[in-house]
Structure 1
Amino acid sequence: MGIGEQGLWLALIIGNSRWHWGAFEGDRWLGSWHTLHLTEAQTDQLQQSRFALSAWQQLGIETVLPSNPGDGGQEHQELWMASVVNTPAAWLVSSAHVHPIATKQVPLQNTYPTLGVDRALALVGAGDRWGWPVLVIDCGTALTFTAGADQRLIGGAILPGLRSQFRALPAHTDQLPALEFDPDVWPQRWATNTSEAMVSGILHTQLAGIRDFVVAWEADWPSGAVVLTGGDSAAIYRYLAKQTPTLAQRINHDPDLGFWGLRVCRQQKLEKPSAIGL
């Protein structure tokens, strides 16, 4: 598979809730966009056009792709992708310009077989962008803590994310209402009605858990970085800044860690063609 060092290329991370897309020109970041899970027909349409801007426009999806890329055209784009969902990934891997990445292909030591590729990429991306050692807190469908040093996994933890907790309570109880997570609402701790009590319980305990993991991390790795990422990371960062400003000052917010991880994988392939089994 040919890899162009300076051309336009795309990155895709297929998550549980959404597809996350990013665009690079060589090593230069152009930006990201997000879609709901695409259908096989939509995926095929994009793939047949080599992800050209016109195909995205036909689907009504706004992207950051330039109208006149400097490499002479968008029909020769590479796609570097990782997925935590099996079926959509199978739709994409048949083309020669698609480079699928699994956990074992991420340049990270001390991993285990069931480690999610999204966590591995985010950790490597954080190490590349913010330096090692680093703790990644991914605020998505699941809230995950993933720590590493010297491009080696230390370990981590997984629990339900904010929106998953909001969905779980009405799904497993008879009387509790279905609520939508509102990132602009700051709940009072001692609520006086059921809905507000649910919001208070979910948000305050999630923030307490994050603070606890950060404090434990800083005790073990005083010089280590902490980075928030994921779909709800901006809201979580605002909440932390409101509740514990001194802690928030020690935390970095970077929603694009997975893309930096895919960039590391691509760069490794450019430097050592045999390093990634593609």
Structure 2
Amino acid sequence: MADLLVDLGSSRLKWALADDALGPVEAVTWKGRGLKALLDARWGGMTRPARVAASAVAPAPVKEALGEWVRGRWRLEIRFVSATQGWPGLECAYADPARLGADRWAAMVAAHVCYPEGCLVVDCGTAVTLDALAGGRHLGGYILPGVQAMREAVLGETAVEVTEGGEIERWGWGDTTASCLELGIAGAVAALVEASLERLQGEGVCDPTLVITGGQAGSILPLIQVDYRRHDHLVLEGVRLCSRRTLE
């Protein structure tokens, strides 16, 4: 039997079955919907997995509801990923690792395994997170609103009206309200990413690889002017690695 790996984010639920590698990844928005009914519909016909492991940053009641569903359906306890569990050769910058988001830790574990010399991990989701790793040492990072959150803030708190599409393909001057908005938002994120990479390079502690993941990564990639590696499901890969390690 395969393991069920879960990434319960602030608004989205992603999952995949995995043995030695991730299978196809599925995703659905849970926010604003009943989680039990959602799981009944999407997981109700799933064969009982060998184990269930998860990264969860959703509110505690949602995390508990996920655990209750898995327990009631399959009589399994979810193995929740936490930075408190540690990882060989990877040191968390937080004085209290329990306060670091599980998704950030899972992404860092997967990135560290792929790029042990050092990397800047950028996860573009409901929030955008950046974490700097140098030879297994987590130096710290940044958190800022995600692309969609910034867009909603502008449209919800101002009189700006967008009636046309705002897709962007490259840097340039916006010539519609929509393109001005999208370039401004994506450009702000891209600028922080590149400035952070430059800072990490300037500190001389490693030759870092820029690693980008997350469901909204496509919004900023056209504006990234440096080399990068895209890993679409870095958090789930980290969950897989952490889950396997607990069995050793």
Measured after TM superposition, the shift of residue 138 of structure 1 is 0.9
Q: Where do residues 180-199 of structure 1 align in structure 2 (5 Å cutoff)? A: 184-186=167-169, 189-199=172-182
CA distance in 2, matches of 1:207, 1:150: 24
Q: Where do residues 129-208 of structure 1 align in structure 2 (5 Å cutoff)? A: 129-173=114-158, 175-177=159-161, 184-186=167-169, 189-208=172-191
Could you list the structure 1 runs, at least 4 aligned residues long, displaced by more than 4 angstroms after superposition: 178-182
2:196 equivalent to 1:213:
yes
Measured after TM superposition, the shift of residue 30 of structure 1 is 1.6
2:94 equivalent to 1:117:
no
CA distance in 2, matches of 1:75, 1:18: 22
> Structure 2: where are the runs of 5+ without partners?
none
Measured after TM superposition, the shift of residue 188 of structure 1 is 6.5
The change in CA–CA distance for 1:172 and 1:98 in structure 2 (over 3 A counts) is: same
The question of whether the paired residues in 1 share the 8 Å contact of 2:13 and 2:27 is answered with yes
Determine the structure 1 residue equivalent to 2:215. 231
Q: Please give the root-mean-square deviation of Cα atoms over the aligned residues, in Å.
A: 2.6
The question of whether the paired residues in 1 share the 8 Å contact of 2:110 and 2:234 is answered with yes
Give the alignment partner of residue 48 of structure 2, picking from 72, 75, 78: 75
SS of residue matched to 1:93: helix
The change in CA–CA distance for 1:189 and 1:33 in structure 2 (over 3 A counts) is: same
Pair member with larger Rg: 1
Determine the structure 2 residue equivalent to 1:35. 28
Once the two structures are superposed, residues 91-131 of structure 1 have per-residue CA deviations (whole angstroms, 9 ceiling, x without a partner) of 13242342222332343533334221111111111111232
The question of whether the paired residues in 2 share the 8 Å contact of 1:106 and 1:120 is answered with no
Amino acid corresponding to residue 91 of structure 1 in structure 2: A
CA distance in 1, matches of 2:212, 2:141: 14
Amino acid corresponding to residue 141 of structure 2 in structure 1: G
Amino acid corresponding to residue 34 of structure 2 in structure 1: T
Determine the structure 1 residue equivalent to 2:230. 253
SS of residue matched to 1:210: helix
Higher mean C-alpha displacement, 87-96 vs 8-17: 87-96
Amino acid corresponding to residue 202 of structure 1 in structure 2: I
**How many correspondences in the alignment?**
233
The change in CA–CA distance for 1:177 and 1:188 in structure 2 (over 3 A counts) is: farther
Measured after TM superposition, the shift of residue 89 of structure 1 is 1.2
Give the alignment partner of residue 14 of structure 2, picking from 2, 15, 20: 20
Once the two structures are superposed, residues 141-166 of structure 1 have per-residue CA deviations (whole angstroms, 9 ceiling, x without a partner) of 11111112344321001111211111
SS of residue matched to 2:174: coil
TM-score, length of structure 1 as denominator length: 0.74
CA distance in 2, matches of 1:41, 1:263: 24
SS of residue matched to 2:121: strand
The change in CA–CA distance for 1:235 and 1:172 in structure 2 (over 3 A counts) is: closer
Measured after TM superposition, the shift of residue 46 of structure 1 is 7.1
The change in CA–CA distance for 1:186 and 1:153 in structure 2 (over 3 A counts) is: same
The change in CA–CA distance for 1:34 and 1:44 in structure 2 (over 3 A counts) is: closer
The question of whether the paired residues in 2 share the 8 Å contact of 1:137 and 1:144 is answered with yes
The change in CA–CA distance for 1:260 and 1:208 in structure 2 (over 3 A counts) is: same
Equivalent pairs: percent with the same residue?
23
The change in CA–CA distance for 1:82 and 1:222 in structure 2 (over 3 A counts) is: closer
> Structure 1: where are the runs of 5+ without partners?
1-6, 56-73, 272-278
CA distance in 2, matches of 1:198, 1:149: 34
Flag the structure with more relative contact order, 1 or 2, with Cα contacts below 8 A and sequence separation at least 6. 2
